[in-house]
Structure 1
Amino acid sequence: MRVVIAGSSGLIGTSLVAALRQGGHEVVRLVRRAPEAPDERGWDPAAGQLDDGALAGADAVVNLCGAGLADRRWTPERKELLVSSRVRPTAVLAEAVARQGVPALLNGSAVGYYGDTGQRVVTESTPPGSGFLADLCRQWEAATGPALDAGARVVLLRTGLVIAPSGGLLGQLKPLFSLFLGGRLGDGSQYMPWISLDDEVGALRFAAENREVSGPVNLTGPDPVPNAEFTRALAAALGRPAPWVVPGFALRAALGQVADEAILAGQRAVPEMLEKHGYSFAHPTLGAALSTIT
């Protein structure tokens, strides 16, 4: 296959490019600067522009664009960036996919689509939740409309918390645990829908290669756990104690709305669609996923 990827320089994108090439696929990377390599094509999503031929011969487009969701306070300016860095690029790509007849668009989204679901098990058929993050995900997914209307296979990649040796979720947590500052967040009951980086990339490749996969797909491991259990497992994997508790009020004071919607809230999301279509997880348990970080 010839796969065009937007957002190829991030944690997931970099690994996906390597995995696709290892699997014998041709990869074209969309970049927002002047192309410098044979596999690069330029684009300017703010202006709605793509280099001529950027999608030529593409079997699939993968869109992983978007500013970091939970790494700082959601000021009005930050919220605007979170929306604009996702919705506009998605619309530009969806319109190009429709115009040029590309068969498939795999588009980023997040389990935040469901809002805070407490103890309930969440599948792809669960309706959207409320709040800024859920609204953002709805807009993000809706922007794929032109591709869907044109008959393309659209996959909505509702990604959970990615576990990788560096970067992602553990890029924030590992330094704290290493300094003996690890601990549960709030009461620790909020579910954490984790997925290993290997399975995130494996599931993306699986979705690209399998024409039967379409619509929303939860990119999460099959066994989400509450924050308290995740904290204990991470402490054990790193060989560090995690005796502390970060109170909810302290998180809210530091991060505002981010704390309520992205840290103290959670989703017990399971990968029903991946399992239905036969994806085999490399790391089906949290312990197996955490074994990759040391």
Structure 2
Amino acid sequence: MKILVCGATGFVGHHFTAALREAGHTVIRGIRKPSQPDDIAVDYCKDTTKEAWLPKLAGIDVVINAVGVLRDSVKQPMALLLEQTPIALFSACQEAGVKHIVQISALGVDKGIETAYFQRRRAPEAYLNNLPDSISCLILRPSVIYGDDGASAKMFRFLAQLPVHGLPAGGNQRLQPVHIDDICAAVNRWLADTNAHSQTVAAVGLEATDMRGMLDSYRQQLQHSQALHINIPAFIIKLSALMGDVIPASPLCSDTLTMLNAGNTADSAAFTQLLGRPPKSYQTFINRGLA
């Protein structure tokens, strides 16, 4: 199939591109600055209408939207990147005859947490759920995604290697890390299924843990002895989040703290069925080369 991957230079989109090509698909990278013969120029800050997308979808069988941003900013406004432009793209897909759409959303979007990030993520999901049956849609809601080259994975590996772990509010925040390889494999398997139907799936790892457990496991996989744990009081984390509200580059702000404290876990049964096997455990993520 001919597949357009939007956000192909990002962490998730880059892995999708490689996995889909390995499976024999023709992948068109939708990126801001094309550099390869099969690239096309897309800009989520400018291509905000159906009319802007229609010429880009000629001959496309599948569209994968892997564009995402965690913080709102002037250069990367959530209103466009997470809501208006994806909806314009999906509207164009319907008119252009695209057969399949894959939307990378976020775990917890349906929990009623009123952060700007979750609010913007809900609208494209609602739009896809109202498309006719002639288009099959896969909405994946991943937990924290691990990949050796991922920015968050690099950060967590660095923290895990420190002899002292400063744990925000004790590190009890629940999460269920999922490996990028499993996400790519699940999408490839769904596309290969001639009877694939529209579905929304929580993309999570084999089991849940908490921040402390994840860092301890990563440290063990990196072949280090047990770290010293120090609790960082909740009021200090809240203060840091308030400071992050005025620093766009900071990954920690009031909204991200709210989402972190709300937990990021789900039953893995649906993802196991989609994948055709149990997903990987966070306890086996780190390969020996990195260790």
- Cα offset, 1:254, TM superposition: 1.2
Equivalent residue for 1:59, pick from 52, 58, 61: 61
Equivalent residue for 2:221, pick from 226, 237, 243: 237
Q: Secondary structure of 2:77's match?
A: helix
Is 1:149 matched with 2:149?
A: no
Answer with 208-217 or 83-92: which moved more.
208-217
- Relative contact order, higher structure (CA 8 A, sep 6+): 1
- Residue in structure 2 matched with residue 2 of structure 1 by the alignment: 2
RMSD (CA atoms)? 2.6
Deviations for 1:80-106, whole angstroms, at most 9, x for unmatched residues? 823321112211210111011111110
Is the contact made by 2:23 and 2:188 (CA closer than 8 Å) also made in structure 1?
no
- For the residues of structure 2 that align with 1:22 and 1:277, how far apart are their CA atoms? 19
Deviations for 1:167-215, whole angstroms, at most 9, x for unmatched residues? 2422222223334343433233321121012112222222333342422
Which structure 2 residue ranges, 5 or more long, are not aligned? 243-253
Equivalent residue for 1:136, pick from 111, 120, 125: 120
Q: Secondary structure of 1:243's match?
A: strand
Is the contact made by 2:143 and 2:265 (CA closer than 8 Å) also made in structure 1?
no
- Cα offset, 1:282, TM superposition: 5.7
- Residue in structure 1 matched with residue 38 of structure 2 by the alignment: 39
Deviations for 1:136-165, whole angstroms, at most 9, x for unmatched residues? 32123224357x237311111101101122
- Cα offset, 1:289, TM superposition: 2.0
Deviations for 1:209-250, whole angstroms, at most 9, x for unmatched residues? 334242211111121112232232122223152522233222
Deviations for 1:45-96, whole angstroms, at most 9, x for unmatched residues? 43432372x32232211001122x2xxxx6x747982332111221121011
Is the contact made by 2:186 and 2:274 (CA closer than 8 Å) also made in structure 1?
no
Is the contact made by 2:159 and 2:215 (CA closer than 8 Å) also made in structure 1?
no
Letter matched to residue 236 of structure 1:
Q
- For the residues of structure 1 that align with 2:186 and 2:217, how far apart are their CA atoms? 24
Matches within 5 A, 1:144-183: 144=128, 148-149=131-132, 151-183=134-166
Which structure 1 residue ranges, 5 or more long, are not aligned? 115-127
Equivalent residue for 1:222, pick from 186, 191, 206: 206
Is the contact made by 2:189 and 2:274 (CA closer than 8 Å) also made in structure 1?
no
Matches within 5 A, 1:180-259: 180-210=163-193, 211-238=195-222, 239=224, 241-256=227-242, 257-259=254-256
Deviations for 1:242-263, whole angstroms, at most 9, x for unmatched residues? 5222332222211241353233
- For the residues of structure 1 that align with 2:256 and 2:25, how far apart are their CA atoms? 40
Is the contact made by 1:43 and 1:51 (CA closer than 8 Å) also made in structure 2?
no
Mark the CA change 1:89 to 1:254 in structure 2 (over 3 Å): closer, same or farther: same
Is the contact made by 2:168 and 2:232 (CA closer than 8 Å) also made in structure 1?
yes
Percent sequence identity is 21
